[in-house]
């Protein structure tokens, strides 16, 4: 008998929206459609949206038990970014529909989490993102935000937990990187973790002064933290202070061994300490192009190196070499002359200067 009664209940039709409420709801939907087509940016105080909201709210008063009414109202609030109202309306829709899609409510909760974070209410932000995860356990956005917030708070253990889950949902380079770093961060204490993340946030804004100060703090608190040493060296390079980057690149090598990339950056920092990062960077790119057999590209990079630092004798010598090999003997002679003028003790450049002049018909 119970089975028969249950089956009958399941087959019962869903009650329709009351006619008066349905009329208002249809008018609200028509206004919402017109608003989407009319405005480039959607806000609840725009005339069409304001009228659509008013009609949908009237429909909700006339028929507060109809799930469809709350769904339309929630969609309008979502489209206009009125997230607190969207949250309330999606909750009522889900309660009345008993089986609706929870994804829109989760989206509203994530938006409220972001807004809370923006105004500095971290506790509320965490609460919203955690509620969103209950509805969508594999939300990469919510997982990443919780990972980020806990990193900023210096809680490496919780940050590691959420970044690891985010990386499982989407193994992107960003998620894997922070999952690895958060795990390492949990070993170095909250103060070092907090300083590291502040440094990273400043670096994102290209605020090198604050980034350096924060990474310096992280390195001081955790001198064996290779990633903090690496980021400090990197920021010094980007800030145009390669000489200060050298000891930190050396420390990275001490901690993790002689990896090709780190050795390259140490060599670049040492070279840039004398001629500047731009000139040294162009010079090494020229060397790489030459070694790969692309002399035209090598020439372009060596020219950029000499433009960045006209007193870069080594770059002038290499520029003379590629000019010579391409048969541009007059240009080669001029480049070698620059190298000799800048470094009179460069016997090699003096020798090739004579060869270039002779090939150009000057001797």
Kindly tell me the burial class for residue 143, based on how many C-beta atoms sit within 10 Å of its own C-beta (0-12, 13-18, 19 or more).
Answer: buried
More confident residue, 190 or 265: 265
Mean pLDDT over all residues of the chain? 89
Question: Encoding tokens for residue 341?
Answer: 């003028």
Q: Judge contact between 214 and 196, C-beta under 8 A.
A: yes
Query: Could you give the percent of the chain with pLDDT greater than 70?
Result: 96
Kindly give the interhelix angle for 242-256 and 226-238, rounded to the nearest 10 degrees.
Answer: 160
Residue 293: is its pLDDT beyond 80? yes
Question: Encoding tokens for residue 80?
Answer: 């206009």
Residue 186: is its pLDDT beyond 80? no
pLDDT of residue 12: 33
Phi (first) and psi of residue 154, to 5 degrees: 85, 15
Residue 11: is its pLDDT beyond 50? no
Residue 8: is its pLDDT beyond 70? no
CATH placement of domain 295-359:
1.25.40.10
Q: Which residues, 6 or more positions from 66, have their beta carbon under 8 angstroms from its beta carbon?
A: 15, 17, 18, 21, 96
Q: How many Cβ atoms from other residues are within 10 Å of residue 16's Cβ?
A: 11
Residue 62: is its pLDDT beyond 90? yes
Do 18-100 and 295-359 share a fold? Answer: yes
Secondary structure of 293-305 in the HEC alphabet?
CCHHHHHHHHHHH
Domain boundaries, the chain: 18-100, 194-275, 295-359
Mean pLDDT over 156-185 rounds to 90
pLDDT digits (tens, 9 = 90+) for 68-102: 999 999 999 999 999 999 999 999 999 998 878 99
First-to-last alpha carbon distance for the chain, in angstroms, is 115
Residue 55: is its pLDDT beyond 90? yes
Which CATH number, 1.20.1440.130, 3.40.50.80, 2.70.150.10, 1.25.40.10, labels domain 194-275?
1.25.40.10
pLDDT of residue 363: 64
pLDDT of residue 283: 85
pLDDT of residue 82: 96
pLDDT of residue 149: 93
DSSP 266-281: HHHHHHHHHH-HHHHH
Class of domain 18-100: mainly alpha
């Amino acid at each position: 008998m119970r089975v028969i009664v249950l089956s009958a209940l399941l087959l019962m039709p869903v009650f329709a929206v009351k006619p008066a409420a349905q009329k208002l709801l249809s008018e609200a939907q028509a206004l919402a459609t017109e608003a989407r087509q009319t405005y480039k940016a959607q806000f609840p105080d725009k005339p069409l949206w304001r009228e659509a909201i008013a009609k949908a709210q009237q429909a909700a008063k006339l028929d507060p038990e109809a799930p469809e009414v709350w769904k339309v109202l929630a969609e309008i609030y979502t489209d206009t970014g009125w997230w607190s109202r969207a949250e309330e309306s999606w909750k009522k829709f889900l309660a009345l529909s008993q089986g609706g899609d929870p994804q829109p409510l989760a989206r509203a909760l994530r938006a409220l989490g972001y807004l809370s974070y923006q105004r500095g209410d971290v506790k509320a932000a965490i609460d919203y993102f955690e509620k969103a995860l209950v509805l969508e356990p594999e939300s990469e956005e919510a997982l990443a935000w919780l990972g980020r917030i806990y990193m900023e708070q210096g809680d490496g253990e919780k940050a590691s937990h959420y970044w690891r889950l985010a990386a499982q949902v989407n193994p992107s380079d960003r998620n894997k990187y922070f999952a690895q770093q958060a795990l390492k961060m949990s070993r170095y204490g909250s103060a070092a973790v907090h300083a590291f993340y502040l440094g990273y946030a400043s670096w994102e804004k290209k605020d090198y002064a604050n980034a350096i100060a924060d990474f310096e703090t992280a390195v001081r608190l955790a001198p064996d933290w290779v990633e903090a040493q690496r980021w400090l060296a990197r920021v010094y390079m980007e800030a145009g202070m390669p000489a200060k980057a050298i000891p930190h690149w050396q420390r990275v090598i001490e901690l993790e061994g002689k990896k090709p990339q780190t050795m390259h950056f140490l060599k670049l920092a040492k070279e840039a300490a004398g001629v500047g990062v731009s000139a040294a960077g162009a010079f090494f790119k020229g060397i790489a192009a030459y070694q790969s057999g692309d002399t035209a590209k090598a020439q372009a990079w060596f020219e950029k190196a000499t433009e960045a630092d006209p007193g870069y004798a080594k770059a002038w010598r290499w520029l003379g070499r590629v000019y010579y090999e391409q048969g541009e003997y007059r240009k080669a002679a001029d480049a070698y002359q620059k190298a000799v003028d800048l470094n009179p003790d460069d016997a090699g450049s003096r020798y090739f200067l004579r060869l270039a002049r002779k090939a150009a018909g000057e001797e």
